[in-house]
Amino acid sequence: MAVNNVLKVEKIFDGVTIGISGSVTATLDVTALLGSTVGKMAFQYYCASAGTADVEVTYKLSLDNVTFWDPTTPEIKSSITPNSTSEAGGGEYDYEFAPFWEITATESGAVAVTQFDFWLAFG
């Protein structure tokens, strides 16, 4: 992220639950979020479960908000693994651009997620 930019933050998932081997999906128009970014975004997450869940966050791209395809590297975060409590974290990600994104959080650790929050920041 460049210095002196205005960050635009979007909360994608807010306290959602994800069942065992389940997923949640959100679609958004990222053109309203873009600042003077150069192909980078930041993300922040919070994940809570009663056991060792394993959550992966991926995205797909679309030009028309109808047909979506996988970018070259669709994983924003490949493994979020709270162990009987919670995990919080974040990072920076190089992304491919299209006006519409479909973001999916999928649990594959056979433990339900009791709370999942996820933010994207562009700037």
Report the CATH fold assignment for 8-122: Jelly Rolls (2.60.120)
Q: What mean pLDDT, rounded, does the chain reach?
A: 86
pTM of structure: 0.86
- The domains of the chain are located at 8-122
Cα three-residue angle 77-79-85, rounded to 5 degrees: 115
What is the SS3 assignment for 31? Answer: helix
28-85 pLDDT, tens digit per residue, is: 988 877 655 555 778 999 999 988 899 999 999 999 999 999 999 888 888 898 877 8
Quickly list DSSP for 106-118. EE-SSS-EEEEEE
